Amino acid sequence: MAEQIIKGFTLQSSGDPSFLRKEEDTIPEDEPPSSAGEAQSAASKKIESRSNLRLVFSREEDDDSWKGLLARSITKAVDLPKQLCMDVITVHDVTRRYPMRINPYYLGLIKETNDPLWLQAIPDFKELNDPLGVEDPLNEEEQSPVPNITHRYPDRVLFLVSSQCAMYCRFCTRKRKVGRSLTVTEETIALGIEYIGRHREVRDVLLSGGDPLLLTDKSIERILKALRQIPHVEIIRIGTRVLCTLPQRITIRLVNMLKKYHPLYINTHFNHPIEITPEAAKACGRLADAGIPLGCQTVILRGVNDNASIMKQLMQGLLRIRVRPYYLYQADLTQGTGHFRTPIDKGLEIIEALRGHTSGLCVPTFVVDVPGGGGKTPILPNYLLRKEKDTLLMRNYENNVYSYPFATGEGEIRTANVAAREGNHEDWNYF
């Protein structure tokens, strides 16, 4: 079976150079600007004003507009708008190690330096000074039986099928790879599909990267089709940030193709309510209308969203655009991202501020992806106060204390109810 799959996959893709987008494995060596002033005056000639960009978006309703936007991405420090780049030389230095890509759509959402979107997109000198971080904090390489597959959990695999993203987020866990050293070829895709075909325990495949939706429709379909030929693959998930960073990518043509491969799930990634735009709502609506359940993974980032009120707005906004908050991540110990990291208590504080204060659908699971490949480990505020002989004592979201009987048998429930009737515990309520 595996042989047929890989053979079919190779046959379909052979002779078709457009199978994968051309992947850039190295960071282009920019000529450093001779001075900040010179660089920025050049930049001002090249860069369209943000109001012009908004006009461009509204004109570009055709299915391929996303390619034009992506092609106009800023990748060099000298091309950043003057008002958003204080230090061209430093940004240039950072991009030599960690690439930059900001497409005009996301750039148009940035209002000023140090705003929550600016922080996610613009390189920072702190990326080069992070003594605590490590390159691969989640041990993805060690748990990789074939290139670009990570097999950590018993019934599912992570399958990296793209090295490109619509934006290179400064906090990215895979910043060691995206846009530069993650090599995706027809061969690595075929090897990954072969591996999945050989491992009957794999019932769930998560396509990630980079961003899988930066591949062409044709390339994505070939991967989905090959996976759907494997009988034990029950569900396919796609991890993508384009709904947030380049929603124009969610074209009608793409959606019509994706919906042929159900059960298909998409997990996206929004970090701030400003990212919930009419364009993002339209993209999410298209996918939801096609029956694709949408979840969101958000990372807590210092200065961006480490605030309970902002998180509440974000989670409520996500539900409005038909995206279910799924995970809230503690930032990984990734090298070059230390300046974004918050204490674990911040995540607990945020969950505490959500649970009970807004609908349960708005409350993601707070997880730490524990270093060393231990996997996602949930952490909850402590609502269970004490175990007593017949009951559990717990607190609710308003910090009122309640009890619940051990419901292991009728006798125990009766005992607890008797205690309540006798009024032994005045402020205990029974459900």
Is residue 5 involved in binding ligand SF4 (CB under 6 A)? Answer: no
Query: Shortest gap between Cβ of 224 and ligand SF4 (angstroms)?
Result: 19
Contacting residue, 174, 237, 339, 341, with ligand SF4 by CB under 6 A: 174
Long-range contacts of range 30-35, CB-CB < 8 Å, 24 or more positions apart?
30/76, 30/77, 30/78, 30/92, 30/95, 30/96, 32/89, 32/92, 33/77, 33/78, 33/88, 33/89, 33/92
Let me know: does 98 contact 125? Beta carbons within 8 Å. no
DSSP state, 364?
P
Told to judge if 176 belongs to the known catalytic residues of this protein, a careful annotator would answer no
Is residue 280 involved in binding ligand SF4 (CB under 6 A)? Answer: no
Contacting residue, 102, 122, 178, 224, with ligand SF4 by CB under 6 A: 178
Distance of CA 259 to the CA centre of its chain: 21
Of the candidates 85, 169, 244, 296, the residue annotated as catalytic is 169
Binding mask 124-163 for ligand SF4 (x = CB under 6 A): ----------------------------------------
Determine phi and psi for 44, rounding to 5 degrees: -65, -30
| Size of interface with ligand SF4, in residues (CB under 6 A) | 10
Q: What are 175's two structure tokens?
A: 């910043």
Query: Of 47, 61, 22, which Cα lies nearest the Cα of 103?
Result: 47
Pick the closer one to ligand SF4 by CB: 9 or 327.
327
Question: Looking at 103-191, which runs of residues are DSSP E strands?
Answer: 149-153, 156-160
How far CA 343 is from CA of 302, 333, 415, in Å, comes to 10, 12, 43
Contacting residue, 92, 222, 237, 241, with ligand SF4 by CB under 6 A: 241
Is residue 272 involved in binding ligand SF4 (CB under 6 A)? Answer: no
> By CB under 6 A, which span of 29-37, 165-173, 181-189, 195-203 interacts with ligand SF4?
165-173
DSSP 3-state of 296: strand
Of the candidates 85, 165, 284, 296, the residue annotated as catalytic is 165
Of the candidates 152, 228, 259, 302, the residue annotated as catalytic is 152
Query: Of 122, 226, 202, 201, which Cα lies nearest the Cα of 168?
Result: 122
Amino acid code (one letter) for 213: L
**CA-CA-CA-CA torsion sign (64, 66, 72, 73):** negative
Amino acid code (one letter) for 159: F
Is residue 168 involved in binding ligand SF4 (CB under 6 A)? Answer: yes
Pick the closer one to ligand SF4 by CB: 120 or 307.
120
Told to judge if 421 belongs to the known catalytic residues of this protein, a careful annotator would answer no
Told to judge if 326 belongs to the known catalytic residues of this protein, a careful annotator would answer no
Pick the closer one to ligand SF4 by CB: 39 or 178.
178
Q: Is the peptide bond before 210 cis (omega within 30 degrees of 0)?
A: yes
Pick the closer one to ligand SF4 by CB: 9 or 168.
168
Pick the closer one to ligand SF4 by CB: 245 or 391.
245
Is residue 169 involved in binding ligand SF4 (CB under 6 A)? Answer: yes
> By CB under 6 A, which span of 37-45, 111-119, 207-215, 400-408 interacts with ligand SF4?
207-215
Rounded to an integer, what distance in angstroms lies between the CA atom of residue 138 and that of residue 136? 6
Of the candidates 21, 50, 72, 376, the residue annotated as catalytic is 376
Contacting residue, 77, 85, 122, 172, with ligand SF4 by CB under 6 A: 172
How far CA 270 is from CA of 117, 202, 329, in Å, comes to 11, 28, 12
Is residue 279 involved in binding ligand SF4 (CB under 6 A)? Answer: no
Q: What are 78's two structure tokens?
A: 């000298």
Residues forming contacts to ligand SF4 in the complex (CB under 6 A) are: 165, 168-169, 172, 174, 178, 209-211, 241
Q: Would you name the residues annotated as active-site residues?
A: 152-153, 156, 165, 169, 172, 174, 332, 369, 376
